A and B are shown apart, each in its own frame.
Chain A
Amino acid sequence: DAKTTQPNSMESNEEEPVHLPCNHSTISGTDYIHWYRQLPSQGPEYVIHGLTSNVNNRMASLAIAEDRKSSTLILHRATLRDAAVYYCILRGLTGGGNKLTFGTGTQLKVEL
């Protein structure tokens, strides 16, 4: 399976932007980059996904490097509710197929 590497934890202040990095140097051309987050005591929640171009939705933005070997999830204004574990996952032919293979993720702490 193509693997992703994320920092174990990050901290942010409320109402500031947060940039969560993910490295995936072995990504293939058909792998999609997915992001999920898991709030305390809840199941994972879809955040965003993309293939080559940057993506925006109401929750976040996904910036994908030109060589696709890394990506960054951007939360434009962090709130206390954004404190969660964020998972960067590859899905595709080399990303374990269509399966979602969760790594350890990044624990985001948001402070007042």
Chain B
Amino acid sequence: SAVISQKPSRDICQRGTSLTIQCQVDSQVTMMFWYRQQPGQSLTLIATANQGSEATYESGFVIDKFPISRPNLTFSTLTVSNMSPEDSSIYLCSVEGGQGANTEAFFGQGTRLTVV
């Protein structure tokens, strides 16, 4: 299993500003995943972060808006840039217990972001 800590747990931000969310894992992992959960909706994958390479973004998400860092095998950050009220969501970090489809995923508690 893996224990994931996210910071901050919640924040209220002014539009036009940026927020960086931190994700710390208690073990070394190859890939880390960032998800967004808009109010009342399901989770949507934003990007996959590998250590030592650029993150891979899903359709509809771009690096300029959601820059990601992955400096080592236990840590990653997601920045939500130039925020607007539409960015109000829960942002979640996730890691895998192994590799491939026959493995479970672990999630952090999420960062609840409100943009005013």
Using CB atoms and an 8 Å cutoff, list the residues of chain A in contact with chain B.
30-32, 34, 36, 42-46, 49, 51, 87, 91-93, 95, 97-105
Chain A's nearest CB lies how many Å from the CB of B113? Answer: 14
Residue pair B108, A100 in contact (C-beta under 8 Å): no
Using CB atoms and an 8 Å cutoff, list the residues of chain B in contact with chain A.
4, 33, 42-45, 48, 92, 94, 96, 99-102, 104-110
> A93 CA to B102 CA in the complex, in Å?
12
Residue pair A100, B105 in contact (C-beta under 8 Å): yes
Which among B42, B45, B101, B109 is the interface contact of A43 at CB below 8 angstroms?
B109
Q: A101-B45, A102-B44 are in contact. Are A45 and B107 (CB under 8 A)?
A: yes
Q: Which residue of A lies closest to B109 (CB)?
A: A43
In the complex, chain B residues whose CB is within 8 Å of the CB of A51: 102
Q: Which residue of B lies closest to A95 (CB)?
A: B101
Residue pair B101, A91 in contact (C-beta under 8 Å): yes
> A39 CA to B42 CA in the complex, in Å?
13
Q: Which 4 A-B pairs have the closest CB atoms?
A: A43-B107, A91-B101, A46-B104, A102-B43
Which among B102, B105, B109, B110 is the interface contact of A46 at CB below 8 angstroms?
B105
In the complex, chain B residues whose CB is within 8 Å of the CB of A43: 4, 92, 94, 107-110
In the complex, chain A residues whose CB is within 8 Å of the CB of B108: 43
- In the assembled complex, 30 residue pairs joining A and B whose CB atoms fall closer than 8 Å, in A order, are A30-B101, A32-B101, A32-B102, A34-B104, A36-B105, A42-B109, A42-B110, A43-B4, A44-B92, A44-B94, A44-B107, A45-B107, A46-B105, A46-B106, A49-B102, A91-B101, A92-B101, A93-B101, A97-B101, A98-B100, A98-B101, A99-B45, A100-B43, A100-B94, A100-B105, A102-B42, A102-B44, A103-B42, A104-B42, A105-B42
